[in-house]
Amino acid sequence: MFGVAEAALANAPARSLVPTRKPSGKSIPVAKPVVKGASALIQEANLGGKIGFVVADARTGKVLEQHNGSSSLPPASVAKALTTLFALDKLGAAKRFKTQLIATGPVRNGVLAGDLVVKGGGDPTLSTDDLDAMAAKLRAAGVTSVKGKMRVHGGMPVIAQIDREQPEHVGYNPAVAGLNLNFNRVYMEWRRTSNGYSVKMDARSDRIRPGIGFAKTTVASRDLPIFKYSGQGGKDNWSVARKALGKSGGRWLPVRRPEIYTGDVLQTVARSHGVKLPFPVKSTTAPRGKVLVEHSSPEVRVIARDMLRFSTNLTAEVLGLQASGASSLKASARSMNSYLKSKFGLKNVKLVDHSGLGDSSQISAQEMVQTLVGAGSNGQLRSILKTIAVRDDDHKVVQNSATKVVAKTGTLNFVSALAGYIRTPDGRDLAFAMFMADEPRRKALKKSEREAPRGSRSWNGRAKKLQSKLINRWAALHGS
């Protein structure tokens, strides 16, 4: 039975005695290696704020050690592990999302007499290369031009951004829709010229770099803010402060009109296949007609595995919305909270999105470990979590370590989290969660400071070292 009441104190003995058998058949206690107490490790890290952790036997749920285990703290991207469980259960591991090109009229002599509709199906992984392949298939289906319009239809309301408290120009905070492309990011590249700056925006992939028309960036003579956004004219209009640009560079910017973005890129790549398409317009009604081309995403299990590895916020939000069927992130998060309470017996979990980007999300280490135990020490989640390198006391990677860790990391400014499973050298499976947050320091930041605030990098480094040392402690003390 899982419960923090069973927990050993954070100052558990630095030695753990286990019997070993003498040749005579009698056993004597042998001490495991000396390890520092958790309180000493926490004090050395000097993080401030609050730290909560729980480690338990992954099979029985018995808590072995805890510190502030019932304190609710921001999970950051560890929330994606919870979203994975939600999506796998509600959608199924084998579910695929379809993106279709639909003709509303007949094709005669290469001309589509009606409209061409780009219909989204909730694929969070659609890429420029996928659209290029779809354009080639459209040409193979006999289409060279469209007499009507190119309409784009996502099938769900567009959510302008994941978290309104983030700087508006960060690429990890894009719009969320049923029709998404390149994780709803566009690449801005600049180069200083004799006349000022040349700025280009494209939807690049590893193979091609199609230009776009729905978004543009101008260079402004100002110091701050570095970026400004306007949706005037139905486009994504950015301006960037001249003084923030060096000789050359580039960065990803978030897309606020993902459906139009997708149609824009399709128009460009189709041209290379001899297909002339009009500029896209948004459609609010579901299309009827003949499916000319269909693209299927990878299975949800694969999508979730990659999301856990690369921590893509857009993927998490789309998976959560598809699993809940809700029309807003808050409503969808409430649905997931209810699921977690019903499925795993949680009582106090409070998530506001599916990616962990919103720092109003809260969960305790106790409830996170309770979920990990409930998901199974050899369950679907464990099989797709990212392998975490084991490090020594100097934070150097231990090659071929006998301790194996798979987990989800989470990082926000002055927030660091890690949760997953440990297999100790003698084969015991542990479930753990660590949440570390200096919330007063985080809340004191201005919105403009949130991309890279002073002190956050060193704070995060100390937090990760503490996490590594706690893992080493648990592996030494709590092997069977």
CATH classification of the domain holding 115: 3.50.80.20
For residues 66 and 104, state if they share a domain: no
Domain containing residue 402:
4-75+362-477
In a domain, 337, yes or no: no
The verdict on 20 and 108 lying in the same domain is no
Does one domain contain both 58 and 107?
no
Amino acid at residue number 149: K
Q: Is residue 344 part of a domain?
A: no
Q: Is residue 350 part of a domain?
A: no
Whether residue 21 is predicted with pLDDT greater than 80 in this model: the reply is: no
User: Using an 8 Å Cβ cutoff, are 375 and 340 in contact?
Assistant: no
Q: What is the rounded distance in angstroms from the CA atom of residue 238 to the CA atom of residue 217?
A: 5
The domain boundary residue, chosen from 241, 276, 296: 296
Residues 128 and 246 in one domain: yes
CB atoms within 10 A of CB 358: 22
- pLDDT tier for residue 250 given thresholds of 50, 70 and 90: very high
List, for residues 182-217, the tens digit of each pLDDT value. 999 999 999 999 989 999 999 999 999 999 999 999
Arithmetic mean of pLDDT, 80-104: 98
**Whether residues 166 and 287 fall in one domain:** yes
Q: Is 153 found in the same domain as 18?
A: no
- 290 with 373, same domain? no
The answer to whether residues 43 and 103 belong to one domain is no
Q: Is residue 325 part of a domain?
A: no
Between 431 and 11, the more confident residue is 431
The per-residue pLDDT for range 379-434, each reduced to its tens digit, is 999 999 999 999 998 899 999 999 999 999 999 999 999 999 999 999 999 999 99
Q: Does residue 93 belong to any structural domain of this protein? A: no
Which has the minimum average pLDDT: 15-24, 113-122, 344-353? Answer: 15-24
Do 277 and 380 share a domain, yes or no? no
Are 147 and 288 in a shared domain?
Answer: yes
Query: Is there a contact between 156 and 286 (Cβ–Cβ < 8 Å)?
Result: no
In a domain, 349, yes or no: no
Measured CA to CA, the distance from residue 449 to residue 442 in angstroms comes to 10
Q: Give the mean pLDDT of the chain.
A: 92
Check pLDDT > 60 for residue 16: no
Does residue 236 fall inside a structural domain? Answer: yes
Number of domains in the chain: 2
% of the chain beyond a pLDDT of 90: 85
In a domain, 450, yes or no: yes
* Range in 20-24, 360-364, 386-390, 456-460 with the lowest mean pLDDT: 20-24
Of residues 259, 225, 266, the one with CA closest to residue 242: 225
Residues 138, 266, single domain; the answer is yes
Answer with the one of 296, 315, 334 that is the final residue of a domain.
Answer: 296
Are 228 and 118 found together in one domain? yes
- Average pLDDT (128-148) is 98
Whole-angstrom distance, CA of residue 35 vs CA of residue 32: 9
Question: Where is the domain boundary, 243, 269, 296?
Answer: 296
Residues 31-76 have pLDDT tens digits of 556 788 999 999 999 999 999 999 999 999 999 999 999 999 999 9
